[in-house]
Amino acid sequence: MKTIEDFNFNNKKALIRVDFNVPLDGDFNVTDTTRIEAAKPTIVKVLEEGGSAILMSHLGRPKGKKSDELSLKHIVAKVSEIIGVQVKFVDQSIGKDAEQAAKDLQPGEVLLLENLRFHSEEEAGEESFAEALSKLGDVYVNDAFGTAHRAHASTTIVAKYFGQNKCFGYLLAKEIEAIAKVMESGEKPVTAILGGSKVSSKITIIENILDKVDHLIIGGGMTYTFIKAQGGKIGDSICEDDKQELALRILKDAQAKGVKVHLPVDVLAANDFNNDADTQIVDVKEIPDGWQGLDAGPKTLENFKEVILESKTILWNGPIGVFEMPSFAKGTIAIGNYIDQATKDGAFSLVGGGDSVAAVKQFGFEDKVSYVSTGGGAMLESLEGKTLPGIAAILE
């Protein structure tokens, strides 16, 4: 695996695909700088070795049309502040202006190109657009894990124009290593904690990880599809009725492979889907009509705690309850605390995928787990066993 460590950037121009698809408020201020900070080590390495960095990213979904609202000019000040260098900006991604700006770039300088997705050719993965981008740098560095599952011009196609002069940035290399630690080389016992509302969105992940894990903890809304499939009463809880047979098959497959599946035994049920609803702790298989399970119960959390604290490798994908409502966040917070403890005791813990990352940030667990993945869809596709095009392009 060629990483940025394998190159010296003295007098070289590094064309770096970053993921600066960051949230902006109404005044175009960046409201979450995580992705910019994550790319900083790669950019700094290039600059410190006497190279220059040409950064390319998308922002939002402009669908091939220019839009002032989605211009990357709005983030120049914030990127400059975080990297510690005044970033130059060119309002083109390709063409004469972009080529001239790249040519004029001196060692130690940084140039940010305009939003790649102002060109429909970016998402279409067009060769001509990728070739035009390739003219801007000497070495191609992909450091955008969040888009590595897309075969776009800047994430995949452009790599072919650089021969051996292409590599992974620090962030992308760390993502690949973190997933490999769980899926390939993880110290046993390996535990996967899967939450969220739908079994259907996790099927391929479950099928792929059953050969790799010792324990599978299932929580969140998808619990109730499993419980109903086993004949339990789930009241008004969320359920995918058409996935009950699948749930039973997953349990059977797990048993055949020697994987212990841990489902909730009790839940915090509410008589309405709102934070101020009446609540009661009930057996997961005896939820009364008119009530719905919205968080894990105390006995369940004790069971999960025991499994997590004995684990040496932990993957967490998806919340355990409706954590957006304080009344139903206790289960998710408890899981975070158990993983924190296991990590302190020497376990490797990886958190990834949309809502679980949001929960980890919200409740302050970011620095208490081994690694928090920056790529939602890319992370999930990796767990499903797919080879991501952006990664394959560097390995070729």
Annotated binding residue 262: no
**Beta-ladder partners of 54:** 15, 111
- Which member of 249, 285, 354, 361 is catalytic? 354
Residue 356 assigned as binding residue? yes
Look up residue 142 and give its two tokens: 């992909």
Query: Is residue 293 part of an annotated ligand binding site?
Result: yes
Distance CA 128, CA 214 (A): 48
Residue type (1 letter), 206: I
Residue 81 marked ligand-binding:
no
If 0-12 CB within 10 Å is exposed, 13-18 middle and 19+ buried, where does residue 233 land?
middle
Q: Does 324 carry a binding-site annotation?
A: yes
Is 352 flagged in the annotation as binding? no
Is 17 marked as a binding-site residue? no
Catalytic residue among 12, 13, 17, 35: 35
On whether 249 is known to bind a ligand per the annotation, the reply is: no
Q: Is 233 among the residues known to form the active site?
A: no
Question: What CA–CA distance (Å, rounded) separates 118 from 143?
Answer: 21
| Known active-site residue 385 | no
330 catalytic? Reply is no
Does the annotation place 266 within a ligand binding site?
no
Q: Which of 135, 377, 385, 386 is catalytic?
A: 377
User: Looking at 40, 160, 198, 299, which residue is catalytic?
Assistant: 198
Say which residue the tokens 């990728």 belong to.
130
Is 198 annotated as catalytic? yes
Binding site members: 19-21, 35, 58-61, 117, 150, 202, 293, 324, 353-356
Binding site members for (2R)-3-phosphoglycerate: 35, 117, 150
Annotated catalytic residues are: 35, 198, 354, 377
Binding site members for ATP: 202, 293, 324, 353-356
Binding site members for substrate: 19-21, 35, 58-61, 117, 150
